[in-house]
Structure 1
Amino acid sequence: MRRRLKPGEYAEVRAFVAVAEACSFRRAAAELGLTPSTLSHAIRAFEDRLGLRLLNRTTRAVTVTEAGARLLQDLRPALALLDEAVAAAGIPEDAPVGTVRLAAPRLAIQMLVGPAIRRLAHECPHVTLDVRTVEWPGDLTDGFDLGIQYGNEVAQDMVAVALTKPFTTAVVGSPGYFADHPAPFHPSDLVRHRCIGCLSGPGGALYRWAFERDGETVVLDVDGTLVTDDADLMLDAAIGGVGLWHGIDQVVQPMIDDGLLLRVLADWSPSYPGFHLYYAAGAPLSPAVRAVVDALRGKD
């Protein structure tokens, strides 16, 4: 017959699991907010009660014995359930609870996810948002609950919700750059300018600059002294006079307002769908996922 733990021994159980997983009394003590000496006494008392040696201790290392390893394997799921039960005890019955995984490009994270996190922390404190930077659209098969991408890149079998207005492209350069180079009036003039190249897409191909006006479309391969896939570096380089940058109006407008950048070829700048939130169609959204959707859309 297996021995049952008494209520006062649960602290010792947690102490054993912490030390066994950390392989260190010092690290486990810091995690539990105890002194290493207190933790050592708790483990020794636990071993005495069980009549088993659970840990091997030397001056250099702490390792788990065979009996300790078996006990650790049995205790992990039980403690996880205990932690969930304790955490849920103070949560209202209808409150959203759980972890929601979101994949989004870095620009979308900067523009949209920050405000949503603040809203969630205030209104849904029991929802954890796990955000990963994913530059190119996916089908959410990697375990993500939600994704953000440009609207024209979302698969048609997904539910898509617009989060921003359409974006308009913007070609910009610094006042210092234009002091030495005449402003282009037609996209073809860009062949005489230094342009900052953007590596785009999963294969890292060089992005071709596209322009439209009055039914005419111009697509160009540009040259310059910088090629990168880092949007922040492109923007810093444009402000520093390295060359012209082909970006998004919502990103560069504050720099234009501050006089750091000047815009050219505005009448040739096409628009395309802004960021959309997307998720798999069919299955109903959990309360936690719905809470994240509402936070990203700015809904109370």
Structure 2
Amino acid sequence: MMKRDELGDLVAFLTVAEERSFTRAAAQLGTSQSSLSHTVRRVEERMGVRLLTRTTRNVVATEAGEQLMETLRPAFNDIRGRIDALSAMRQQPGGNIRITSSRHAAETILMPAVKRLMTDYLDINVEISVDQRFVDLVAERFDAGVRLGESIEKDMIAVRIGPELRMMVAGSPEYFKRHPIPQTPHDLTQHRCINLRLPTLGGLYAWEFERDGRPLNVRVEGQFVCNDVPMIIDAALDGVGLTCLPDDHLGPLVKDGRLVQVLEDWCAPFPGYHLYYPSRRLASPAFALLIEALRYR
């Protein structure tokens, strides 16, 4: 049978391994670096194998350490989920919820719902981390994430929180005074287009089209490349070139005449924003309230 202090030692090891720093782990656990170092050595001596490699810059798990981390993470996440679920016995739901999201989804969908939730339930605390990259929810200890439905991994539970979207190709009226309207995506090779640098692999987004059920991807060229959507929109408004972005970004600008939409027949709908979280996560009352506040109706 595992002794009580051995369980605490494993928590200490996992914190150091995930933070990759004795300093940050000690601050998180409310202890000293020397005490934490002694605890980790005790775990290594008990198991008879080195778990961490200490360098001048950080701390890296050995192969044995990685295996132990993979064993401990789901177990401790399950414990945390069950403890959170106990708050159902409280009259007022409460607790902490950490969410990762792209900026646009956070601003347009997530924040309005979170503001209402925090107003109605003063014991619920929410942290939103705005990040364009795909985040490992379990490894980085997030409760949930917000991303487009088609980009969510199959082992996650996904809850629809927004309508279907379409890509939209548009340019400023000034741009089209100097350039003809493209009739097909192939015509884009004759146009100046603004390229989006993707945050994950760093490549350029290939503009995606579909007609009669047949997909078509087009690599476009132009003078301007950027990884920030608001800057791309500003450039399109200034006539730098055509842009291709989801219609929830460009639709209002097309509606008020600041941009002109083209190739509309080539842009098929795709799944919009979803809240996603690990399938094994036990929903606390606070998290269940968040899901209901965000669920698209």
TM-score, normalisation: structure 2: 0.67
Counting only pairs closer than 5 Å after superposition, residues 265-284 of structure 1 correspond to structure 2 as 265-284=263-282
What's 1:78 paired with? none
Which amino acid letter does the alignment assign opposite residue 149 of structure 1? R
Distance 2:108 2:220 in 1: 28
Which amino acid letter does the alignment assign opposite residue 237 of structure 1? A
| Deviation of 1:298 (Å) | 6.6
Which amino acid letter does the alignment assign opposite residue 249 of structure 2? V
Q: CA RMSD in A?
A: 2.0
Distance 1:298 1:184 in 2: 35
| Deviation of 1:218 (Å) | 2.3
Which amino acid letter does the alignment assign opposite residue 165 of structure 2? F
| Deviation of 1:93 (Å) | 3.3
Match for 1:134 among 131, 134, 141?
Answer: 131
| Structure 1 residue runs without a partner (length 5+) | 1-71, 75-91
8 Å Cα contact 1:103-1:134 kept in structure 2: yes
What's 1:122 paired with? 119
Which amino acid letter does the alignment assign opposite residue 171 of structure 1? V
What's 2:187 paired with? 189
Counting only pairs closer than 5 Å after superposition, residues 207-286 of structure 1 correspond to structure 2 as 207-286=205-284
- 3-state DSSP of counterpart to 1:210: strand
Cα deviations across residues 26-61 of structure 1 (Å, max 9, x unaligned)?
xxxxxxxxxxxxxxxxxxxxxxxxxxxxxxxxxxxx
Cα deviations across residues 133-156 of structure 1 (Å, max 9, x unaligned)?
122333411100011111111111
When residues 271 and 201 of structure 1 are mapped into structure 2, their CA distance, relative to the original with a 3 A threshold, is farther
8 Å Cα contact 2:193-2:221 kept in structure 1: yes
What's 2:75 paired with? none
What's 1:171 paired with? 169
Which amino acid letter does the alignment assign opposite residue 192 of structure 1? Q
Distance 2:168 2:255 in 1: 14
Is 1:103 equivalent to 2:103 in the alignment? Answer: no
- List 4+ stretches of structure 1 deviating above 4 A: none
| Deviation of 1:116 (Å) | 1.2
Which amino acid letter does the alignment assign opposite residue 112 of structure 2? P
TM-score, normalisation: structure 1: 0.66
Distance 2:31 2:146 in 1: 38
8 Å Cα contact 1:196-1:225 kept in structure 2: yes
8 Å Cα contact 2:165-2:269 kept in structure 1: yes
| Deviation of 1:111 (Å) | 1.5
| Deviation of 1:282 (Å) | 2.7
What's 2:147 paired with? 149
Distance 1:128 1:112 in 2: 18
| Structure 2 residue runs without a partner (length 5+) | 1-29, 33-88
Distance 1:258 1:196 in 2: 21
- 3-state DSSP of counterpart to 1:195: coil
8 Å Cα contact 1:137-1:153 kept in structure 2: no
How many equivalent residue pairs? 211
What's 2:203 paired with? 205
Which amino acid letter does the alignment assign opposite residue 100 of structure 1? I
When residues 94 and 171 of structure 1 are mapped into structure 2, their CA distance, relative to the original with a 3 A threshold, is same
Is 1:296 equivalent to 2:278 in the alignment? Answer: no
8 Å Cα contact 1:100-1:145 kept in structure 2: yes
| Deviation of 1:171 (Å) | 0.1
When residues 119 and 298 of structure 1 are mapped into structure 2, their CA distance, relative to the original with a 3 A threshold, is farther
- 3-state DSSP of counterpart to 1:131: strand
- Once the two structures are overlaid, the 10-residue window that deviates more, 212-221 or 163-172, is 212-221
Cα deviations across residues 117-165 of structure 1 (Å, max 9, x unaligned)?
2211221121111000122333411100011111111111111111112
